[in-house]
Structure 1
Amino acid sequence: MTKNLLALAIFGAFAGAAQAQSNVAVYGAMDIGLIKATGETLAIGRGDNNKLGFKGTEDLGNGLSANFRIEMRFEPDTGTTESGGRRPLFQGRSVVGLSGPFGSIKLGRDLTAVQDPIGDFDPFGFQTVGSLDAILGNYSTDPSYAGSSGNRLSNGVYYSTPSMGGFQVNATLASKEGLNGGPQLNSNPYSLSATYANGPLATLVGVERSTAEDKFWTVSGAYRVGVANLIASYSRLNRAVGVKDTNWLVAADIAVGVGSVKVGYGQVKPENAGANKQVSLGYWHNLSKRTMLYTDATRRKPAVGDSSNAFDVGIHHTF
């Protein structure tokens, strides 16, 4: 009996040490609301991606840690996996890597060095009908996934330097291998960015080559003045076929009590064509740190054809 108690005590001590050195968490988001767009019936939909993920860190000692993260998407109104032809189960993220004094390196599928920080320069954060088209324009990092937002690369290596006074350099390089039996790519997709975030100022400078060999570069900045975060972004898309797009936007995210008013205007202008214009307005109300109510409206005016409107109201909860 004494030996059994001693064995249990030793096992418990080791288990406690392992638990202290490792951390695994379940996280996610639920977003659902009502959406009405011109020419469409009122529908139950989502403003943000609904996700379920697992992430963990293991302390390896001497400042070195092992990390992993996997994240899947689903439709909130039906409970099915996300529709639209997005084929990977863990299409959101699927990476494992190491971090330490050198920064962090990971392998797998994730947001690229440009696509990860660029959402900070859309006051709607790529969420809701208000999301400004001009933040990316007609660009897609990986257009091979039909129905996908195309802002991730598979078979990639991701590196970020340590943050030095708010300044950080990020790099992504993907292999040429074809996906789902497709042909091998002609060149390696890559993404490079330099970001700065310190005090009231945040900036992003980035360049990226897609799986279709389109090249996208952007310069974006935000500056906080009192309760308002003022945002501007300019980008160019040089398509492999020779057509160029120019995108720009101006926006603001203004704190109002426990919520925020979001407003923005942007243009996407293909070469030798008129500009596609968009204006958006929204209000997001925080009920807690994890739950908010939102409502947004947007109007798009294409260079050719009729204008269209969209409106939403919904609830967003993170866990």
Structure 2
Amino acid sequence: MAALAVAGVASAQSSVTLFGVVDASVSGYSSTSRDQNNGFTYNAQGVPTSYNPFYVNRGSIKASRRELANSGYNGSRLGFRGTEDLGGGLAASFWLEAPIKNDDGSEGVATFARRSTVSLSGGFGEIRLGRDYTATFWNDTVFDPFGTNGVGTNLISTASNSFGGFAGIAASNKAFAEQFPNIALATNVSGGNYARSSNTIGYFLPPNLGGFYGQLQYAFGEKTKYSPGRATPPVENNSRQGRYVGGRFGYANGPLDVAIAYGSSTVGDQYYAGITNKVDTLNLGASYDFGSVKLFGEVSRAKNKLDYEVTPTLAGRPDIDLTGYLLGVTVPVGAGLIRASYSRVTYDENLVANPPAVLPEDKKANKLAIGYVHNLSKRTALYATIARVSNKNNAALTVGGPNFVTAGGFTPKTSTGYDFGIRHAF
């Protein structure tokens, strides 16, 4: 009876596909911090007030690691998708996609954290429900020659991933006031709404609009509401965190592809303090394929802000702005593809000194990445990528691997890395 039931389900599908990617690489990472003290002690205005002639500069300190990694070219995954023709131009579809760690086998089809959706489509477009990519992430990955994979991932993506992570108000303030460390994109589905969002309702325009495409998306925070409001438990992130609303619209025709996206993610809240912590993101990306070379570009601006029901006496914490841009290129060479990109990000904390004083300079970082992909077939490729990040003014972005050593007064400076691997798709 069980076998007959399975056969009945399978026969009801117009198509069912098992697919996946197995990607493995030998990767190395190195994060170098420097002692930038010179024996002087400075006041708030940056004026030296004392000097220690016996101070000995300690130079630099490096944290490095080599490993057998995964997902250096494409994210390793295992998925199932299917479509049923309902007639009259309607179709029902499902898509279940799980991340896998083929380097050590520690993670398989335990969660469908990459995508888990069911949808209904027709001449009106598509209604899609479940966990899916956010509208604002698409531009970061589509217009990156490295597709936001491996050490070549552009800095807009790297910085935005931590900038918009879920956190309490206090923890968020502390993180922004000190450093902006990398947070690896985890399969834990509660870490943030940067790349993917859970509990979404999405609408996608139909594909027959002369090259125009677009989507609208809303994600439920799924927090319990209480009436009267004073019955709400005094717990951070208990009322609004998790919501996301966004949209993306673009035009793709021939060699040109251009798209603009906007999204707002609620990353934290304090109900009784009347505070909501949001990250609003606006980005614009484009690519143009000349045949012999394909160019990529993106500009992005994200704002981490605290909305107050009652503005504090001292006006509260200022908004924190993350701006960035990306320039990239791919060049086909026989069976291979050369890839290169340059990206840059700046954090503006909008600090105001009262009384007037010299304020810290904005945190900045830039990244250069170059790589080569050699296609052995349509499904199998060898690849190599190297990348370097340069940090200024206490920014602490890396290409991956270990974080910077900052204890004892060391300042994050450079991060370098490489991937040499093989990717097989099926």
Question: TM-score with structure 2 length normalisation?
Answer: 0.66
How far residue 136 of structure 1 moved from its aligned partner, in angstroms, is 6.1
| 1:234-281 superposed Cα distances (whole Å, 9 cap, x missing partner) | 010111241001100111011111111001111010015042010000
Looking at structure 2, the residues matched to 232 and 28 of structure 1 have their Cα atoms a distance apart, in angstroms, of 29
1:80 aligns with 2:106: yes
How far residue 147 of structure 1 moved from its aligned partner, in angstroms, is 4.3
Question: Identity percentage over the alignment?
Answer: 33
Contact persistence 2:335–2:375 (CA under 8 A): yes
Q: Which amino acid aligns with 1:303?
A: K
1:229 corresponds to: 294
Q: Which amino acid aligns with 2:165?
A: P
1:31 corresponds to: 23
1:41 is paired with a residue whose SS is strand
Looking at structure 1, the residues matched to 239 and 90 of structure 2 have their Cα atoms a distance apart, in angstroms, of 35
Residue ranges of structure 1 left out of the alignment (5+ in a row): 1-10
Question: TM-score with structure 1 length normalisation?
Answer: 0.87
Residue ranges of structure 2 left out of the alignment (5+ in a row): 31-62, 168-182, 187-193, 225-235, 268-277, 307-318, 349-360, 394-411
Q: Which has the larger radius of gyration?
A: 2
Looking at structure 2, the residues matched to 278 and 251 of structure 1 have their Cα atoms a distance apart, in angstroms, of 11
2:218 corresponds to: 173
- What is the root-mean-square deviation of aligned Cα atoms in Å? 2.6
Contact persistence 2:139–2:261 (CA under 8 A): no
Looking at structure 1, the residues matched to 392 and 86 of structure 2 have their Cα atoms a distance apart, in angstroms, of 56
Deviates more, 1:147-156 or 1:99-108: 147-156
How far residue 176 of structure 1 moved from its aligned partner, in angstroms, is 2.3
Q: Which amino acid aligns with 1:153?
A: S
Q: Which has the higher contact order (CA 8 A, sep 6+)?
A: 2
Cα distance change of structure 1 residues 77 and 136 upon mapping to structure 2, 3 Å threshold: closer
Cα distance change of structure 1 residues 176 and 249 upon mapping to structure 2, 3 Å threshold: same
1:309 aligns with 2:416: yes
1:208 aligns with 2:263: yes
Q: Which amino acid aligns with 1:310?
A: G
How far residue 148 of structure 1 moved from its aligned partner, in angstroms, is 2.7
Contact persistence 1:121–1:135 (CA under 8 A): no
Q: Which amino acid aligns with 1:32?
A: A
Q: Work out which of the residue numbers 263, 269, 272 in structure 1 matches 2:340.
A: 263
Q: Which amino acid aligns with 2:138?
A: D
How far residue 115 of structure 1 moved from its aligned partner, in angstroms, is 1.9
Contact persistence 2:140–2:156 (CA under 8 A): no
2:18 is paired with a residue whose SS is strand
1:143 corresponds to: 165
How far residue 144 of structure 1 moved from its aligned partner, in angstroms, is 3.6
Looking at structure 1, the residues matched to 283 and 293 of structure 2 have their Cα atoms a distance apart, in angstroms, of 23
Looking at structure 1, the residues matched to 375 and 415 of structure 2 have their Cα atoms a distance apart, in angstroms, of 29
How far residue 119 of structure 1 moved from its aligned partner, in angstroms, is 1.2
Q: Work out which of the residue numbers 373, 384, 388 in structure 2 matches 1:284.
A: 373
Q: Which amino acid aligns with 1:176?
A: G
2:321 corresponds to: 244
| 1:94-147 superposed Cα distances (whole Å, 9 cap, x missing partner) | 110101100111111111222235411000001121111125633469624974
1:116 aligns with 2:138: yes
Aligned length: 300
Cα distance change of structure 1 residues 50 and 186 upon mapping to structure 2, 3 Å threshold: closer
2:198 corresponds to: 154
| 1:6-48 superposed Cα distances (whole Å, 9 cap, x missing partner) | xxxxx9xxx89x8486111111110001001113232100214
Looking at structure 2, the residues matched to 118 and 65 of structure 1 have their Cα atoms a distance apart, in angstroms, of 30
1:97 corresponds to: 119
Looking at structure 2, the residues matched to 21 and 175 of structure 1 have their Cα atoms a distance apart, in angstroms, of 30
1:189 aligns with 2:244: yes
